[in-house]
């Protein structure tokens, strides 16, 4: 075999190995198991949650949290972001609002590679100001898997902002912590 043919063969093999590694991160997952991650961040409300029920646009911005992965993907940490429109919420007993939205999960694998999964989500807030998100991964790592999250809001700070800030727009943001599971 000539040196140029060997070089082309080696380049083709290297490209195939690289493409296979990237494809495993981006391809739909049929792996058994689940990924559970800690999450914390801020929920933003527009126009601001008040004592009376008002439709809110909600943005959830999380920070990277540690994960426990039994899928074999090697997920080390992940960050959740989500957006919902027109969710009726009130400060009184948490509001009990529901809505539909979208989100993303930004993954960091043990080997340093990164990936992103899109989410189709449902939002539900109960009377204890606990938020439940449920839905499905649509594209990216773990495509087709179920998603669920339980988030606890910073109730004392949120309630104070809600009551005192009522005439000026109410609670525009509140901290949260919790966890989410994919699988």
| Model confidence pLDDT, tens digit, residues 138-172 | 999 899 999 999 999 864 455 556 665 555 667 88
Residue 165: what pLDDT? 52
Measured CA to CA, the distance from residue 45 to residue 104 in angstroms comes to 18
Average pLDDT over residues 67-86: 95
pLDDT, the chain, mean: 80
Residue 20: what pLDDT? 36
Determine whether 121 is exposed, middle or buried from the number of CB atoms within 10 Å of its CB (0-12, 13-18, 19+): buried
CB atoms within 10 A of CB 29: 22
| Model confidence pLDDT, tens digit, residues 27-70 | 434 458 999 999 999 999 898 888 778 899 999 999 999 999 99
Cα 42 to chain centroid, rounded: 12
Residue 168: what pLDDT? 62
In degrees, to the nearest 5, what angle opens at C-alpha 83 toward C-alphas 118 and 67? 50
Question: Quick check: 73 pLDDT over 60?
Answer: yes
Note the pTM of the prediction, 2 decimals.
Answer: 0.77
Measured CA to CA, the distance from residue 156 to residue 174 in angstroms comes to 10
Q: Are 151 and 140 in contact (CB under 8 A)?
A: no
């Amino acid at each position: 075999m000539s040196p140029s043919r060997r070089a082309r063969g080696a380049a083709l093999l290297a490209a195939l190995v690289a493409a296979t590694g990237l494809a495993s991160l981006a391809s739909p997952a049929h792996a058994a198991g689940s990924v559970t991650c800690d999450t914390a961040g801020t929920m933003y409300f527009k126009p601001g949650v008040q004592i009376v029920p008002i439709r809110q646009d909600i943005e959830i911005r999380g920070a990277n949290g540690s994960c426990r992965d039994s899928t074999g993907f090697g997920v080390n940490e992940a960050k959740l972001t989500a957006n919902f429109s027109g969710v009726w919420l009130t400060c009184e007993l948490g509001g009990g609002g529901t809505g539909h939205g979208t989100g993303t999960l930004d993954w960091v694998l043990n080997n340093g590679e990164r990936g992103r999964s899109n989410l189709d989500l449902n939002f539900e807030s109960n009377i204890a100001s606990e938020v439940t998100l449920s839905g499905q991964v649509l594209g990216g790592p773990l495509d087709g898997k179920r998603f669920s999250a339980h988030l606890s809001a910073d109730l004392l700070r949120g309630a104070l902002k809600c009551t005192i800030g009522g005439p000026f727009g109410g609670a525009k943001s509140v901290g949260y912590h919790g966890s989410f599971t994919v699988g």
